[in-house]
Structures are given as structure tokens and as C-alpha cells.
């Protein structure tokens, strides 16, 4: 069994409702060698209840737990983000993995990248807005009843990561662009595509989500993101130049910005 790059993997609990589930998730992580727990919430959770369910063995996981008030900040420095989901809407079927496929990806990507695995709140799971921050989705197969307790879901994923035995000659993934860099690219693309009338300003998410899915299938490096943003800047400059000079695209501007 190959060593799990646990120091690169973060379990992210998004808006959990019960402190006991945070503690139980920490205990499940400790069982499988994971130590980095992130909790996204604006609520003040009872730490005594968290510690009680974590037990003494997982106290170090709780002590090192990181809190964030919003998900975008929590995943900003991650190169690969996966959201867990039980629902299978059209957009969620894209880039959908089994836990075993997730383990293969994580073992390949984590040596060079920060990886986050997101778990939604107990009553409804991750929302579409949360899943827009994900490169891919993972679904835990179940029988007729698909709802799992939060800590149970963490345990299933953590166990699958821990027990996975990757091929000995597996090529590692390169260093990927962070979520913050990708979100800046998407915002830049949206601005440009609205300005050239490719995208409707009153409903930009429809087209932008298609670009998100496209780019998620070919995870980009930071320099590739910079290249795409350079193209966006060039489109903006060219459009502004044509508008100012009144050439309306009939002649090529003679000056190209650096």
C-alpha cells in the first residue's frame, strides 16, 4: 500500500449544523491518517461537544482545525477541489467519480497540489453555488436510501483514500492553478464575453458554467491561466482601440500592448 500524501489533503465541512458531527468527522479522519480539517460556518459551535465526539485520540485534529466564514476563501489556495453529492442533476453528472476513482486522482494529484474534499450540510448537501468551486464530484454508492450521516460519509471517503494502492509507475500530476487563480480567470472571462456580446449580462452563469466544466476536464497550470487572461486582456484592448478609433474591426491596430 502506497503512503497517502495526507499533509496535502483537507477535509472541508461546509456549514455543518451539529458540533457532534464535526467531532465525529475528526475521529473518522484520525482513524485513516488524515489530520487537516476545515470547517466553513458563520455559527459558533460548542467546542466541548466537538471534543467529546472526537475523543482524546482525535484531539490534535480538532486543535488544528481551521475555520472560515465562506467557502471561496477556504478553497482559495487549493489546486484540486472535489465535492461530494448524492443528487444527480445534469450538471452534477459531469466529472462524476466513484470513491475509488477519487482515490486514484488524489494519489496522483496530491503530491504536488493542495487537495480539498467538500462535504455539505446534513440536511441538504452542497448547493450548486458550492459545486461551482469544484473540479469534479464524487458520489458514494448506496442502496435505496442515499442519505449518509456526515461523519459516515467522511469515513467512507477517508477509508477509500487510505486503502487505495496506486500503480507503482504512476506519473504524478504537475502543479495546478489554485482555485483563487481559476476564479479570477472566470471573472475575467465573464467580463470580456459580456462586453463582446457573447454572453447575456442578466444570466451569465449559464454560459460560464459550461466554461467551468470544460476547464475542469483539463486542469490548468498557473502559467496557462495567465496565458488565457492575457488573451482576455488583448481582446479588451483591441475592442477599446477599435471603438476609440472608429475602425470597427476593418483594420488592425498598429500598436500591441505588452
CATH number of the domain where residue 52 is located: 3.40.1280.10
Query: Which of 101, 130, 163 is the endpoint of a domain?
Result: 163
Q: Give the pLDDT score at 181.
A: 94
**Mind giving me the DSSP string for 33-62?**
T--EEEEE-SS---HHHHHHHHTGGGHHHH
The model's confidence at residue 95, banded by pLDDT at 50, 70 and 90, is confident
Q: Give the pLDDT score at 203.
A: 78
Is residue 10 domain-shared with residue 131, that is, in the same domain? yes
Residue 232 belongs to some domain of the structure: yes
Find how far residue 101's CA is from the centre of its chain. 16
Residue 257 belongs to some domain of the structure: no
Residue 253 belongs to some domain of the structure: no
Is residue 107 domain-shared with residue 196, that is, in the same domain? no
Q: Give the pLDDT score at 33.
A: 95
Q: pLDDT of 103-117, one tens digit each?
A: 999 999 999 999 999
What mean pLDDT comes out for the span 7-22?
97
User: Angle between the 19-31 and 150-163 helix axes, to the nearest 10 degrees?
Assistant: 10
Q: pLDDT of 197-252, one tens digit each?
A: 888 888 777 778 888 888 877 778 989 999 999 999 998 888 777 767 665 545 55
Residue 170 belongs to some domain of the structure: no
Name all contacts of 93-98 with Cβ < 8 Å and 24+ positions apart: 94/137, 94/213, 94/216, 95/135, 95/136, 95/137, 95/213, 95/216, 95/217, 96/136, 96/137, 96/138, 96/139, 97/136, 97/137, 97/138, 97/139, 98/138, 98/139, 98/141
Is residue 188 domain-shared with residue 133, that is, in the same domain? no
Decide if 119 contacts 84 (C-beta within 8 A): yes
Is residue 14 domain-shared with residue 135, that is, in the same domain? yes
Is residue 195 domain-shared with residue 130, that is, in the same domain? no
Q: Give the pLDDT score at 214.
A: 83
**Mind giving me the DSSP string for 134-189?**
-SEEE----SS-----HHHHHHHHHHHHHH----TTPPPPPPPPPHHHHHHHHHHH
Mean pLDDT of all residues in the chain? 88
Residue 189 belongs to some domain of the structure: yes
Residue 151 predicted with pLDDT over 90: yes
Q: Give the pLDDT score at 246.
A: 65
How many structural domains comprise the chain? 2
The pTM assigned to this predicted structure is: 0.83
Is residue 26 domain-shared with residue 121, that is, in the same domain? yes
Domain encompassing residue 130: 6-163
Is residue 144 domain-shared with residue 89, that is, in the same domain? yes
Q: pLDDT of 166-211, one tens digit each?
A: 877 667 788 999 999 999 999 999 999 888 888 888 877 777 888 8
Is residue 144 domain-shared with residue 186, that is, in the same domain? no
Burial class for 211, CB neighbours closer than 10 Å (0-12, 13-18, 19+): middle
Q: Give the pLDDT score at 89.
A: 64
Decide if 17 contacts 42 (C-beta within 8 A): no
The model's confidence at residue 130, banded by pLDDT at 50, 70 and 90, is very high
Q: Give the pLDDT score at 247.
A: 56
Q: How far apart are CA 80 and CA 83, in angstroms?
A: 10
Is residue 141 domain-shared with residue 75, that is, in the same domain? yes
Is residue 71 domain-shared with residue 25, that is, in the same domain? yes
Residue 255 predicted with pLDDT over 70: no
Residue 45 predicted with pLDDT over 80: yes
Residue 68 belongs to some domain of the structure: yes
Amino acid at each position: 500500500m502506497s503512503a497517502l500524501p495526507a499533509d496535502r489533503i483537507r477535509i472541508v465541512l461546509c456549514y455543518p449544523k451539529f458540533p457532534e458531527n464535526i467531532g465525529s468527522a475528526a475521529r473518522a479522519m484520525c482513524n485513516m491518517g488524515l489530520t487537516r480539517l476545515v470547517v466553513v460556518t458563520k455559527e459558533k459551535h460548542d467546542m466541548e461537544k466537538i471534543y467529546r465526539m472526537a475523543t482524546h485520540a482525535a484531539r490534535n485534529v480538532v486543535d488544528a482545525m481551521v475555520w472560515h466564514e465562506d467557502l471561496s476563501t477556504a478553497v482559495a489556495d487549493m489546486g484540486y477541489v472535489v465535492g461530494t453529492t448524492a443528487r444527480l442533476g445534469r450538471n452534477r453528472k459531469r466529472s462524476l467519480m466513484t470513491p475509488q476513482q477519487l482515490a486514484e486522482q488524489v494519489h496522483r494529484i496530491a503530491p504536488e497540489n493542495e487537495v480539498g474534499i467538500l462535504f455539505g450540510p446534513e440536511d441538504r448537501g452542497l448547493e450548486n453555488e458550492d459545486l461551482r468551486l469544484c473540479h469534479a464530484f464524487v458520489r458514494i454508492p448506496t442502496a435505496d436510501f442515499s442519505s449518509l450521516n456526515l461523519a459516515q460519509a467522511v469515513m467512507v471517503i477517508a477509508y477509500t483514500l487510505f486503502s487505495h494502492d496506486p500503480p507503482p509507475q504512476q506519473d504524478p500530476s504537475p502543479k495546478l492553478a489554485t482555485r483563487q487563480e481559476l476564479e479570477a480567470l472566470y471573472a475575467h472571462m465573464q467580463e470580456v464575453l459580456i462586453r463582446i456580446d457573447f454572453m447575456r449580462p442578466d444570466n451569465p452563469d449559464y454560459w460560464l458554467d459550461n466554461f467551468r466544466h470544460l476547464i475542469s476536464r483539463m486542469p490548468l497550470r498557473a502559467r496557462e491561466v495567465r496565458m488565457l487572461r492575457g488573451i482576455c486582456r488583448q481582446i479588451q484592448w483591441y475592442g477599446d482601440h477599435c471603438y476609440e478609433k472608429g475602425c470597427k474591426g476593418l483594420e488592425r491596430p498598429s500598436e500591441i500592448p505588452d
